[in-house]
Amino acid sequence: MKKVSIKDVALKAGVSIASVSYVLNNKIDSRIGKDTIEKVRNAAEELNYRPNNVAKSLKTSRTYIIGLIVADIANPYFSQIARIIENEANKKGYTLIIGSSDENKEKFESLINMFCDRQADGLIIAPVENTEASLQKLQKQNMPFVFIDRYLPEVLADSVQINNYDISYSVTEHLIAAGRKNIVLVAYDTKLHHLQQRAQGFTDAVTKHNLQLCDHSVLNIDKDAIDEDISKGFDYLFGGEITPDAIFFTSNKLAVSGLKKLMKLGVKIPENVAVVAFDETEAYELFSVPLSYVRQPLSGIGTTAMEILHEKIVDITLPVKNITLNAELHIGQSSEFEIY
C-alpha cells in the first residue's frame, strides 16, 4: 500500500502543500484560517496520514525527540510533572521519552547514553548524586539540557527550581508559631543541594527562635532503607521522656512511611505531634487528619523547563537561565492544633 504523502492531504483538503505543512507542524499563524486548519486535520485523519519522521530529521538535523530523566516515575511528584512536560512537548511538535534513574548513578548514566544514541534534541533532567562528570561531558557534546527539581552547583546549566530554603524556613516558623518547641526534621542522607537547602532552612529557623538543636533534631534516612530507618528512629525518639512535638518531612515518600509508623506507635496527630510534609500525594487521603504540606508549582516547573529547553534547542548559544519558582504551604489540621 502506498504511503500517504503531504501532497495527498493537500489534494484531499483542497489547500496548498504549504498550508498542510504549517498545520501539521504546529506552525499556525494568522495567515492560516480556521476553516483551512479544520480541512487539513480532517483530511489527515481520513487518509490516516503519518509524518515521515526520518525524512524530516534528515532535512532539519533534528529528531524532535525530548528525553526526560526523573528520579522515580512512581512518585506522584514526578509522574505529574512528566504529564505536564509531555503535553507541552507535544504542543511544540516533540515526542517525549521518559526514563527513571531510581537515584542510581549507573542507571542515570545509561539513560544519558541511550538518549544520546537516539540523537534526542534535548533533555530535561533530575540529576543524581555524583554525576557531574557525565553531565559536563554532555555539555561538551552540545546536547541542550535543563535541570528540574534539583541541580548540581558544579554544572553550569539551565535549571528550574523552587525556593527550597525559604519554604522550609517558613514551615519551621509555622510550627514554632503553633507552640511547638521540639521539632524534628526527617530528611534524606544526601549531598543533593536542594535537599540540603531544605535542611538549612529548618536549622536556621530553629536557631533564630532560640530553640534547641541536638543530634536528634535531624533524622537522616537512607533512601534505600526508608521504612527501616524511620521505624528505628521513631522508636528511639518516641521511646524516651522527651518526645518530639512536631515533625517536618522533606519528601512525600518519607512522610507516608513516617505517618504509618506514627499510627503504629499510637501517636495522635496533631494533639501529640504536629506534622508537615513536602509535596502532595493521594496517599495522604488515607490518613484521618488532613495533612499540612508544601505544594510545589508543578505546572510552572514543567512548562518553564520545556520552554527553556525549546529555546536552547533552537539556539544553543543562549545564556544560562536559572529560574526559581515559589512553593506554598498548604495548612491542614495536622499542624493547626496549638499547645497551651
Q: What percent of the chain shows pLDDT beyond 90?
A: 71
Q: Which pLDDT score is estimated for 58? A: 45
Rounded CA separation 146/84 (Å): 15
Residue 34: is it exposed, middle or buried by C-beta count within 10 angstroms (0-12/13-18/19+)?
Answer: exposed
Q: Which pLDDT score is estimated for 340? A: 44
The DSSP secondary structure of 180-239, one letter per residue, reads: --SEEEEEE----HHHHHHHHHHHHHHHHTT----TTSEEEE-TT-HHHHHHHHHHHHTS
Q: Which pLDDT score is estimated for 60? A: 52
- Structural domains of the chain in order of their starting residue, each with its CATH number: 6-51 (1.10.260), 63-162+298-325 (3.40.50.2300), 164-296+329-335 (3.40.50.2300)
Q: Which pLDDT score is estimated for 45? A: 83
> Which residues contact residue 169 at a Cβ distance below 8 angstroms, ignoring those fewer than 6 apart?
201, 202, 204, 205
**SS3 call for 160:** strand
CA distances from 42 to 5, 12, 46, 318 (A): 15, 9, 6, 38
CA distances from 66 to 71, 77, 313 (A): 17, 20, 10
Q: Which pLDDT score is estimated for 28? A: 64
pLDDT 10s digits, 19-57: 887 887 766 666 778 888 888 888 888 888 776 654 554
pLDDT tens digit at each of 340 positions of the chain? 567 788 888 888 888 888 887 887 766 666 778 888 888 888 888 888 776 654 554 455 688 999 999 999 998 899 999 999 999 999 998 999 999 999 999 999 999 999 999 899 999 999 999 999 999 999 999 999 999 999 999 999 999 999 999 999 999 999 999 999 999 999 999 999 999 999 999 999 999 999 988 888 999 999 999 999 999 999 999 998 889 999 999 999 999 999 999 999 999 999 999 999 999 888 888 888 999 999 999 999 999 999 999 999 999 999 999 999 999 999 999 997 555 4
Helix, strand, coil % over all residues of the chain, rounded to 5: 45, 15, 40
Cell matching residue 255: 512522610
CA distances from 309 to 43, 121, 302, 313 (A): 32, 9, 11, 6
Residues composing the chain: 340
